[in-house]
Chains A and B, each alone.
Chain A
């Protein structure tokens, strides 16, 4: 074996090791935390006098920061418990995969603030955020063993379903139900919480077996 072959071997080994290193932390606590934060945000947002595009986007940007910060803290705690580095290659790859979708969502929010539409029209940003978040989750799912890709699809489908409902409910009693803060709580909060509860039982069962 000459040095070129040895170098090729090392490169192949590195590629295989990178492909193998997938994110394996328990997702249930993260999903439940995000779900509770989302539902809480929906209730709080409606209770506070935040019925404008600017207030809505600012409030949910704050909730997103809170959710992300909590998620990173939970991941960090799990990493320390397992004696592994927090900023590991899988965590880095998952974060990188999430970024484009999240940035697109943030830009859409800025556009909403700039356009400053009538309050109830703000609800149309929720389906868009759902779809973009779903795409972000789907990308991250390539580096995670759980059904995160499927969860991403759930958000994408929910986004389009919501868009249809928003259009249909534009001129009838549904308009009251389709209050933007409620929609955020129901979609982002409700879906995360449902998935978190599902994972709580399935992840525990897998560990037990």
Chain B
């Protein structure tokens, strides 16, 4: 088995919580902090930490606005985030294909 694809997996995305956030954001133009928290069952602190890590890597953009006089935090994938996520999926598919019987 060629271990190369595994070593190429992005360590930032590979973490369970961050991978879940990236997956959710990959399927939607943007999601609010509340939508992410409710869908993933994370605590506010945990989600904030993961989003900050992804933001520092340049994978996620965070914008703050107001809706119905309430603060609204929305997250979306950046172009770099979309590319990194697509690469991550490609590598996973390579790993799956490696052990597939011919």
Query: Chain A 123-138 against B: per-residue CB contact (8 Å), 1 yes, 0 no?
Result: 0000000000000000
Residues A18 and B99 in contact, CB atoms below 8 Å apart = no
How far is it, in angstroms, between the C-alpha of A76 and the C-alpha of B65 when the chains are bound? 29
A contact face: mostly helix, strand, loop, or mixed: helix
CB-defined contacts of A13 to chain B, threshold 8 Å? 19, 23, 89, 92
| Count of chain A to chain B residue pairs whose CB atoms are closer than 8 Å in the complex | 65
Minimum CB–CB distance for B69 against chain A, Å: 9
- Interface size of A in residues (CB-CB distance below 8 Å): 22
Asked if B28 and A22 make an inter-chain contact with CB atoms under 8 angstroms apart, the answer reads yes
Q: Report the minimum CB–CB distance from A10 to chain B (whole Å).
A: 5
A17 to B6, CA, bound (A): 22
Q: How far is the CA of A206 from the CA of B68 in the complex (A)?
A: 7
Asked if B96 and A7 make an inter-chain contact with CB atoms under 8 angstroms apart, the answer reads: yes
CA distance A1 to B7 in the complex (A): 10
B20 engages A209 (CB within 8 Å): no
Q: A2-B99, A3-B95, A10-B92 are in contact. Are A18 and B68 (CB under 8 A)?
A: no
Tell whether A81 is near chain B: CB-to-CB under 8 Å. no
Interface string of A1-34 (1 = CB under 8 A from B): 1110011011011001111111010000000000
Cβ 8 A contact of A3, one of B9, B25, B72, B98:
B98
**Contact assessment for A9 and B19 in the assembled complex, using a CB-CB cutoff below 8 Å:** yes
The verdict on A145 contacting chain B, using a C-beta distance below 8 Å, is yes
Smallest CB separation, A88 vs chain B (Å): 10
Contact B24 A20, beta carbon cutoff 8 Å = yes
Tell me if A145 and B92 are in contact (CB < 8 A).
no
In the bound complex, CA of A16 to CA of B26 (Å): 9
Q: Which residues in A have some Cβ–Cβ distance to B below 8 Å?
A: 1-3, 6-7, 9-10, 12-13, 16-22, 24, 145, 202, 205-206, 209
User: In residues 8-30 of chain B, which contact A (Cβ within 8 Å)?
Assistant: 9, 19-20, 23-29
What's the minimum C-beta distance from A73 to chain B, rounded to whole angstroms?
22
Known: A13-B89, A17-B23. A206 touches B99 (CB 8 A): no
Query: Given A24-B29, A145-B35, is A16 in contact with B24 using a C-beta cutoff of 8 Å?
Result: yes
Q: Decide if B28 touches A6 in the complex (CB within 8 Å).
A: no
Contacts of B62 on A, CB cut-off 8 Å? Answer: none
Chain B residue nearest to A4 in the complex (CB): B99
B29 neighbours in A (Cβ, 8 Å)? 24
Q: Which residues of A contact B1 (CB under 8 A)?
A: 2
- In the bound complex, CA of A54 to CA of B93 (Å): 57
Chain B residue nearest in CB terms to A2: B99
Question: Which B61-95 residues sit within 8 Å CB-CB of chain A?
Answer: 65-68, 72, 89, 92-93, 95
Contact B39 A206 (CB under 8 A): no
Taking the closest CB of chain A, its distance from the CB of B88, in whole angstroms, is: 9
